[in-house]
Amino acid sequence: MPWLGLLAYLSRQSTPPLWVGRDYRLQQLLDADGRLSAEALLHAGLRPLLDGSVTGSGVGPAWRRGLRARLPRGGQDAGLDGLEDKLDAHQRAFVAVPASALPGETWALRRGLRERLRLDFRHHALEPLNGFLFLALVALDLERLRQALLDRALFAEPLAAGTRPSRPMPGRRSRESGAG
């Protein structure tokens, strides 16, 4: 699952990013020209993922079909249809947001999805679907954490030696505000 984005990218016959050549597991999936090797993918059990790119449905739907085939009774009654519908609707709404939109507009979409998933998570306690809901919530949290780390790295105020920040760091109160 962590490689789905990369496999989708490479399935379009794109040149792999340089970091792929540094990962020994991913190196084994490439041929001498740096493209995905059908034989290596077959040996690794990943070939069915790329069959979706051949039929036009994409790597993601091919992965979901493979997952459903591995679930008991083909994934019937697992409650995954509702989750897939929510995630697909979110993706369509997210893609429809113009590139010129402010970041707050996309974060509002994420917050809405998170709230719907949170309610489903509580509603489906002790059901197999709950594991998938949990993973979706974790993915949204990791996306939020990634954004916070990027914001901090890119937009942090540089401090001169011996000075204090003009605004307190999140989660901390400044000494002037009464925190001791």
| Cβ proximity of 79 and 95 under 8 Å | no
What's the confidence (pLDDT) of residue 174?
47
Is pLDDT above 70 for 54?
Answer: no
For the beta carbon of residue 176, count every other beta carbon within 10 angstroms: 8
Burial of residue 157 (CB within 10 Å: 0-12, 13-18, 19+) is exposed
Is pLDDT above 50 for 80?
Answer: yes
Is the Cα torsion angle 83, 84, 89, 90 positive or negative in sign?
A: positive
Mean pLDDT of 140-156: 86
- Read off the pLDDT of residues 89-113 as tens digits, 9 standing for 90 and up: 888 888 888 878 877 788 888 999 9
Q: In the chain, what are the domain boundaries?
A: 4-70, 80-155
Mean pLDDT over each residue of the chain, to the nearest integer: 77
Q: Which two tokens stand for residue 43?
A: 């040996």
Map residue 36 onto helix, strand or coil: strand
Q: Does residue 83 or residue 65 have the better pLDDT?
A: 83
What's the confidence (pLDDT) of residue 67?
75
